Chains A and B, each alone.
Chain A
Amino acid sequence: MESFLQQLINGISLGSIYALVALGYTMVYGVLRLINFAHGDVYMLGAYFGYYLSRLVQGRTPSHLLDAAVVMILSMIGCALIGVIMERFAYRPVRRASRLTLLIIAIGVSLLIENASQLIFGANPRFFPQLIPETHIHMGNLMLTNQQVIVLVTALALMILLNLFIYRSRTGKAMRAVSYNLDAAKLMGIDTDRIISLTFALGSALAAAGGILVSINIPGIDPLMGVMTGLKAFVAAVLGGIGNIFGAVLGGLILGLAEVMVAGYGSSTYRDAIAFLILIAILLFKPSGLLGKGQVEKV
């Protein structure tokens, strides 16, 4: 029982990271109907920005928590810029092209970021500096680290903020309009280009946050760390119903739990397969995802 609860905590902690990255996928898919394969690489860039920033920032502010917050916010801004640049130069020129073209470009952008990072950062894994010293919190026989708590709280806070932004602000409303129907939104006077840029910026910032939170927990970072996480986060987004914000969070949590349980009770080598098995099952039985609305195809 205790080991189950322990796994549950680990699963939720992993799942909240997937959820953060999945949010970016789902938002971009919502507005552009594009699977942004490079999103996982933005998450990796977030971790690397964090790595360099923490060497600058660490010890300059009064507390460890403030250190981490400054690193995280700066890295989120950096990745938001990357996201906007990516959209402007790779996706905007082909927005009207076929979805296959978009998909291939997304694959190209992903390869570009991965290879450029290997060249710039080096291909070897780096050790992410410990921004917050680890302490253990005991609850009965359960053991939590303060880092796990921070990851959970931050992820939750970011998701609530995003939710407030999308459902309570004017810009959020515009974003929902664009996602509902791009052309109609344009006719209503919404600057769709700006909204799409903003979507990329927000999604990339969340991915960066995910990257840093992961590195706080598991300090090894390398230029290809975003590949698998990116794919799994995408699975999470589809699982919850792509284009649906709550769906992404739910999908992320389910995926994180499933993965930790399989690794804990089954074989850890099957860990990577479980995500895809879930994906195929969900697509075969309910292609719109858990919370997605079924769409009627119009001729």
Chain B
Amino acid sequence: MKRLLWIAGTIGALLLLQWGATALLLDGPIRQGPYYYQIIILAGINIVLAVSLNLTNGIAGQFSIGHAGFFAVGAYMAASVSYYGGPAIRGAVSFLPLVGQDTVVLILALAAAALATALAGLLVGIPSLRLRGDYLAIVTLGFGEIIRVLILNIDAVGGARGFSGIPKLSNFFWVYLLVAAVIATVWNLVRSSYGRAFQAIRENEIAAQAMGVDVTRHKVLAFVISSMFAGMAGCLFGHYTMYLHTNSFTFVKSFEIIIMIAIGGLGSIEGAVLGAVLLTVLPEAFRGFEGYRMIVYSLAVILIMIYRPQGILGQVSVIKRVRAHFITKKAAREAATKAASSAAKMPVKAEGA
């Protein structure tokens, strides 16, 4: 019940924010509104990518540098569903108003993207059983590049021309709904037996196995969940930009996502969010210094990794800290009132308390 309330509350809040963002930024008085809106959307997509990659790289310790490949699979899969299947789907649900039809198409596209990328994740997860460390990293990089080259050779999705004519179905609401979903999933996962198993594998695979963790199953699971979210992010990305080109999905994009989680702090959800937002907003803010911003950005990565390898936030959970802060305050207050009341009742024994 409480969980349902949370979900309904999130959806309600997002709808309100969507309405607000549209009124203020898209149709509103702010001159550069649509530009800000786009940055907010892209930040959301990057958050999904970073948080989901953090599940494999930071929490399960399986270093993947092919995340852009999954992002691409999802984007192209979803785009082809809504491009080729869109009219048929709309026909089937023609009794709904236009918004409803859009929603049905988008949900089906999201489902297709999730399914396709989960399968792709399974495919990449299997070699991860045999390989570790650098080798795994290189294999995932290779998979990402192979996926890109394959897509480049499929003419139905535009090949080298790019895939255009994708309907614009995603917006602030959908992107941030996915953000909420990925954060909630990873957050709950980390605090479950699965999450503890992931962390055990990260810390020491052999020890984890000795303690009875099914290493194979958990590694594959981490890959599948992580790639599924990347695929759904791809779906929303494609349906926002309305055009896809394989150049957006090179390993440079994968590197970018890794840098986001490295700067924020490997293994920390808040870190991934912070990194994603920083790396989306800062380059835009310094657009005037076009040539220099990328230099500063790569220098920052090197310096952060040398002087603070755990990232800005590291393993510290901000939410946990804030909560702990309030909980201890509350506990202290309660203890104080309790002590005071008991002291008032039994003045003789008060010294002992």
A residues 99-115 near B (Cβ < 8 Å) are 99-101, 103-105, 107-109, 111-112, 115
Whether B150 pairs with A116 at a CB distance below 8 angstroms is no
Whether A90 pairs with B302 at a CB distance below 8 angstroms is yes
Judged by a CB distance under 8 angstroms, whether B149 is at the interface is yes
Residue of B149, B294, B295 touching A270 (CB-CB under 8 A): B149
Judged by a CB distance under 8 angstroms, whether A273 is at the interface is yes
Whether A112 pairs with B149 at a CB distance below 8 angstroms is no
Residue of B134, B143, B149, B299 touching A35 (CB-CB under 8 A): B134
Question: Which residues of A sit under 8 angstroms from B340, Cβ to Cβ?
Answer: none
Interface size on B, residues (CB 8 A): 40
- Of all chain A residues, the one with the shortest Cβ separation from B160 is A269
Whether B150 pairs with A273 at a CB distance below 8 angstroms is yes
With contacts A280-B127, A280-B139 known, is A108 near B153, CB below 8 A? no
Residue of B133, B160, B295 touching A119 (CB-CB under 8 A): B295
Whether B143 pairs with A280 at a CB distance below 8 angstroms is yes
Question: Which residues of A sit under 8 angstroms from B251, Cβ to Cβ?
Answer: 231
What is the bound-complex CA distance between A283 and B127, given in angstroms?
A: 9
With contacts A94-B309, A103-B63 known, is A119 near B291, CB below 8 A? yes
For A261-291 the 0/1 string (1 means CB < 8 A from B) is: 0000001011011011101100110010000
With contacts A94-B309, A111-B294, A283-B127 known, is A104 near B262, CB below 8 A? yes
With contacts A94-B306, A105-B306, A272-B145 known, is A111 near B301, CB below 8 A? yes
Whether B134 pairs with A103 at a CB distance below 8 angstroms is yes
Q: How far is the CB of B328 from chain A (nearest CB, A)?
A: 33
Judged by a CB distance under 8 angstroms, whether B281 is at the interface is no
Residue of B130, B145, B266, B294 touching A115 (CB-CB under 8 A): B294
What is the bound-complex CA distance between A115 and B264, given in angstroms?
A: 22
Judged by a CB distance under 8 angstroms, whether A135 is at the interface is no
Name the residue among B206, B251, B259, B306 with the largest chain A CB count within 10 angstroms. B306
Residue of A101, A108, A231, A269 touching B298 (CB-CB under 8 A): A108
Whether B63 pairs with A100 at a CB distance below 8 angstroms is yes
Residue of B130, B142, B291, B298 touching A112 (CB-CB under 8 A): B298
What is the bound-complex CA distance between A234 and B306, given in angstroms?
A: 24
Q: How far is the CB of B110 from chain A (nearest CB, A)?
A: 28
Judged by a CB distance under 8 angstroms, whether A98 is at the interface is yes
Judged by a CB distance under 8 angstroms, whether A20 is at the interface is no
B residues 138-173 near A (Cβ < 8 Å) are 138-139, 141-143, 145-146, 149-150, 152-153, 160
Judged by a CB distance under 8 angstroms, whether B131 is at the interface is yes
Question: Is the contact region of chain A dominated by helix, strand, or loop, or is it mixed?
Answer: helix
Whether B294 pairs with A272 at a CB distance below 8 angstroms is no
Whether B139 pairs with A283 at a CB distance below 8 angstroms is yes
Q: How far is the CB of A150 from chain B (nearest CB, A)?
A: 31
B residues 301-353 near A (Cβ < 8 Å) are 301-302, 305-306, 309
Question: Which residues of A sit under 8 angstroms from B258, Cβ to Cβ?
Answer: 104, 107
Residue of A116, A267, A287 touching B131 (CB-CB under 8 A): A287
Whether A99 pairs with B134 at a CB distance below 8 angstroms is yes
Question: Which residues of A sit under 8 angstroms from B137, Cβ to Cβ?
Answer: 35, 103
Judged by a CB distance under 8 angstroms, whether B255 is at the interface is yes
What is the bound-complex CA distance between A35 and B138, given in angstroms?
A: 9
Whether A107 pairs with B255 at a CB distance below 8 angstroms is yes
Whether A284 pairs with B127 at a CB distance below 8 angstroms is yes
What is the bound-complex CA distance between A101 and B63, given in angstroms?
A: 11
Judged by a CB distance under 8 angstroms, whether B292 is at the interface is yes
Residue of A93, A111, A279 touching B138 (CB-CB under 8 A): A279
What is the bound-complex CA distance between A20 and B134, given in angstroms?
A: 21
What is the bound-complex CA distance between A115 and B258, given in angstroms?
A: 18
Judged by a CB distance under 8 angstroms, whether A171 is at the interface is no
Q: How far is the CB of B125 from chain A (nearest CB, A)?
A: 13
- Of all chain B residues, the one with the shortest Cβ separation from A113 is B298
Judged by a CB distance under 8 angstroms, whether A299 is at the interface is yes
Judged by a CB distance under 8 angstroms, whether A188 is at the interface is no
Whether A94 pairs with B130 at a CB distance below 8 angstroms is no
With contacts A270-B153, A276-B145 known, is A108 near B291, CB below 8 A? no
Question: Which residues of A sit under 8 angstroms from B302, Cβ to Cβ?
Answer: 90, 105, 108-109, 112
Judged by a CB distance under 8 angstroms, whether A6 is at the interface is no
What is the bound-complex CA distance between A215 and B266, given in angstroms?
A: 40
Judged by a CB distance under 8 angstroms, whether A296 is at the interface is no
Residue of B160, B297, B305 touching A104 (CB-CB under 8 A): B305
Q: How far is the CB of B208 from chain A (nearest CB, A)?
A: 12
- Of all chain A residues, the one with the shortest Cβ separation from B140 is A280
Q: How far is the CB of B190 from chain A (nearest CB, A)?
A: 19
For A104-139 the 0/1 string (1 means CB < 8 A from B) is: 110111011001101100000000000000000000
Whether A273 pairs with B295 at a CB distance below 8 angstroms is no
Whether B138 pairs with A269 at a CB distance below 8 angstroms is no
Judged by a CB distance under 8 angstroms, whether B19 is at the interface is no
Question: Which residues of B sit under 8 angstroms from A109, Cβ to Cβ?
Answer: 298, 302
With contacts A101-B305, A105-B302, A112-B299 known, is A283 near B134, CB below 8 A? no
Residue of A99, A267, A276 touching B153 (CB-CB under 8 A): A267
A–B complex contacts, Cβ < 8 Å, 29 sampled: A35-B137, A94-B305, A94-B309, A98-B309, A100-B63, A101-B305, A104-B258, A105-B301, A107-B258, A108-B298, A112-B302, A115-B294, A115-B298, A118-B291, A235-B138, A269-B152, A270-B149, A272-B145, A273-B145, A273-B149, A273-B150, A279-B138, A279-B139, A279-B142, A280-B143, A283-B127, A283-B135, A284-B130, A287-B130
- Known A-B contacts: A90-B306, A97-B305. Give 10 more (CB < 8 A): A93-B306, A99-B133, A100-B63, A103-B137, A107-B255, A109-B302, A111-B301, A231-B145, A273-B150, A277-B142
